[in-house]
Amino acid sequence: MFRSSYALPGGGYSRHYFNLREPGYSEAHHHMDRGVVVVAMDHLRVGESDIPDLEDASLEIAAEANNAVLKLILERLAAGELGEGLAPLQPSAIVGEGQSMGGHIALLMQAKHRSFHGLAMLGSSAVCTRLPARTAGEDICLLGKDNPSEGLAALRTFDKRFALHWEDVPEAYASAESGASSSAYWLGATTPNAGGGLVPGHLSGKAATLNLPILIGRGNATYARTLCARWRPTCRRAMSVTSSFREWHTCTTSQERGSSCGSG
């Protein structure tokens, strides 16, 4: 018996986010060393996937595409055709893992297709994801009252270096996140149309239908109001974990605080 994990990146990242090359920073290797088959996906409009027009790549459409890919992967895994030297395998548990926007897409997949046996939402809230600031009271809520631009506008000026990284994170990661480099291999130049997930109530109905074990991962400086904030019945089987990371929005965390992403 073995488990398989399907990892969905957040906005601005590609599937390589889950397999960073810095020693000790690969979440994929962390899980693989424990016998888990890890598949990281590029959403529509991300990385090496097709790049349709933005209006043709809503979160719902991305979830449909991801579910179709998941079914194909499971078929090939069972047939021993997924990778060279990989024998036919039938997973005993399928876990969907979504970071930030990826959590929203995984939620939509589960609500419509029951794609997974377990769900991990990392730095991802169906209510409001808050990013920490150096000054108390200036944290950012990625939520618009009437339209997503209200929440996204706050990203133009917030301190990414502080919000997403501890001080000892390798500069190659921190500088890329801060905009000094846009060609880092784990970043994505385009994203699905994620704006719907930032409007109040957009995900609440779908979240209320979930009935599976849920892991809610939050960094220790993240003010993420979770699924449980409003939909208590949904969360009877949910487990909330505050990790040793500053923010689950990056896996580039101090190895002294966490040996690899996913160790929480």
Q: Looking at residue 37, which CATH number applies to its domain?
A: 3.40.50.1820
Confirm whether 250 is domain-assigned: no
- The whole-angstrom separation of Cα 97 and Cα 103 is 7
pLDDT at position 78, please?
Answer: 93
Which range of residues forms the domain containing residue 152? 3-242
Average pLDDT over residues 86-91: 88
Domain count, the chain: 1
Confirm whether 27 is domain-assigned: yes
The model's pLDDT over 20-60, given as tens digits with 9 standing for 90+, comes to 988 888 999 999 999 999 999 999 999 999 999 999 999 99
Say which residue the tokens 């939909």 belong to.
231
Average pLDDT over residues 92-98: 95
CB-based contacts of 61: which residues, under 8 Å, 6+ apart? 44, 192
* Selected residue with higher pLDDT from 161 and 73: 73
Tokens of 91: 């997973």
pLDDT at position 145, please?
Answer: 63
Percent of the chain scoring above 70 in pLDDT:
78
- Residue 126 reports pLDDT greater than 90: no
Confirm whether 84 is domain-assigned: yes
Confirm whether 134 is domain-assigned: yes
Confidence of residue 160 (pLDDT cuts 50, 70, 90): confident
The model's pLDDT over 213-242, given as tens digits with 9 standing for 90+, comes to 998 887 665 544 444 444 444 444 444 444
Average pLDDT over residues 239-257: 40
Give the mean pLDDT of the chain: 79
**pTM confidence score:** 0.83
Confirm whether 86 is domain-assigned: yes
* DSSP E strands, the chain: 3-8, 37-40, 93-99, 118-122, 130-131, 140-141, 214-218, 238-242
- The whole-angstrom separation of Cα 237 and Cα 202 is 22
Confirm whether 166 is domain-assigned: yes
